[in-house]
């Protein structure tokens, strides 16, 4: 079966489309979008199909289930929460710092 060069070009374009969508974003925002946004939303409000109505998914308020200080948040991100959130122990200290900086940015806070 011979494939059309036009079909191959269209397939390649589809595969590579979106590769630059995260270009120009901070490291923290990229990490947030890759690891957190599916459940917590792009804005950390928790209004996602999976977690809408779950008060713990909204990270913008001060109702933290495990404490809202930076060390507690880092521990939750690294260890996860059984059956509720995956662990992200693969993040380097620099990546964790960037991710938490982005979360604080979303909360309207800066450290």
Q: What is the CATH number of domain 26-106?
A: 1.10.760.10
Angle at 80 between CA 92 and CA 50, to 5 degrees: 115
- Provide the pLDDT for residue 16: 44
Domain boundaries, the chain: 26-106
Name residues of the chain where pLDDT drops below 70.
1-22, 111
Model confidence, pTM: 0.74
Predicted confidence (pLDDT) per residue in 6-27, tens digit: 555 455 444 444 455 557 899 9
Tell me the C-alpha distance between 46 and 52, whole Å.
6
- Provide the pLDDT for residue 31: 97
């Amino acid at each position: 079966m011979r494939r059309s060069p036009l079909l191959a070009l269209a397939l390649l374009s589809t595969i590579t489309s979106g590769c630059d969508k995260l270009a120009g974003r901070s490291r923290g925002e990229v990490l947030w979008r890759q690891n957190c946004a599916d459940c917590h939303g792009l804005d950390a409000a928790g209004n996602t199909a999976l977690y809408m109505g779950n008060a713990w998914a909204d990270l913008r308020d001060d109702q933290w289930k495990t404490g809202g200080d930076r060390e507690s948040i880092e521990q939750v991100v690294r260890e996860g929460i059984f059956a509720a959130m995956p662990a992200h122990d693969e993040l380097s200290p620099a990546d964790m710092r960037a991710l938490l900086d982005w979360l604080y940015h979303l909360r309207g806070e800066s450290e």
